[in-house]
């Protein structure tokens, strides 16, 4: 299970500050401590709509999500997965971004963790490009910061990786830095 955050009602209905959706962000790893294979860090973002401007939630959000929103992960545009025509309606939709990491680190017995951080921006496509006064909204309604770390122990011979063991499992954190769903122009 990932970190769960509320997405505030952009129309301030039914109650100011009420959430119309939740955003769950999780980070997983594959082949992080394996010789001869790139490591993969997978960021999964799942949105579950629970309301819509004081109305019933979009029970077909998975089918309209690509028109409603997208994400920018470390300057990369990330869209919701395209639904199949046979998929049942759902208030949930998921977007995935994969980051390639180098094979088992090339330091012998690293003294510190392999670590990194980045930024996830939530873009409200229904409001992107709207002009209020002389300001054109970017549509960016929330900005998150994520960080991750893990540790491998590498055994090498002639500069090549012979064996790689995981010393510390992947750990991550996600924090909401800024939010303005009413005027999405962060």
Is there a domain that residue 101 lies in?
Answer: yes
- What per-residue confidence (pLDDT) applies to 123? 95
**Range of the structural domain that residue 9 is part of:** 3-179
Is there a domain that residue 171 lies in?
Answer: yes
Nearest to 127 by CA among 177, 63, 74, 53: 53
- Looking at residue 186, the DSSP 8-state letter turns out to be -
- What per-residue confidence (pLDDT) applies to 9? 74
What is the mean pLDDT of each successive set of 10 residues along the chain, which is 186 residues long?
88 63 96 92 95 66 93 97 93 96 71 87 92 90 96 85 91 96 86
- What per-residue confidence (pLDDT) applies to 18? 64
CA–CA gap between residue 88 and residue 90 (Å, rounded): 6
- What per-residue confidence (pLDDT) applies to 105? 72
What is the helix (H) or strand (E) element at residue 65, kind and residue range? Answer: helix 61-68
- What per-residue confidence (pLDDT) applies to 111? 62
Is there a domain that residue 186 lies in?
Answer: no
Residue 167's contacts (CB-CB under 8 Å, 6 or more residues apart) are 151, 152, 153
- What per-residue confidence (pLDDT) applies to 55? 58
CA–CA gap between residue 153 and residue 3 (Å, rounded): 29
Is there a domain that residue 52 lies in?
Answer: yes
Is there a domain that residue 123 lies in?
Answer: yes
User: What tokens were used for 124?
Assistant: 């409200």
Per the structure, how many domains does the chain have? 1
- What per-residue confidence (pLDDT) applies to 109? 56
């Amino acid at each position: 299970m990932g970190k769960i955050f509320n997405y505030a009602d952009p129309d301030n209905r039914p109650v100011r500050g009420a959430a119309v959706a939740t955003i769950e962000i999780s980070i997983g790893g594959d082949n992080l401590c394996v010789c001869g294979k790139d490591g993969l860090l997978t960021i999964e973002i799942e949105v579950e709509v629970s309301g819509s401007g004081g109305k019933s939630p979009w029970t077909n959000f998975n089918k309209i999500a690509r028109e409603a929103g997208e994400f920018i992960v470390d300057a990369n545009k990330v869209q919701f997965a395209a639904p199949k025509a046979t998929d049942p309606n759902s208030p949930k939709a998921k977007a995935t971004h994969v980051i390639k990491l180098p094979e088992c680190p090339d330091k012998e017995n690293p003294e510190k963790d392999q670590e990194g951080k980045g930024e996830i921006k939530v873009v409200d496509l229904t409001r992107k490009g709207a002009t209020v006064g002389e300001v054109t909204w970017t549509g960016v309604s929330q900005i998150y910061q994520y960080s991750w770390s893990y540790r491998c122990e590498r055994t090498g011979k002639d500069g090549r990786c012979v064996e790689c063991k995981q010393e510390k499992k992947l750990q991550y954190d996600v924090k909401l830095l800024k939010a303005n769903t009413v005027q999405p122009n962060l």
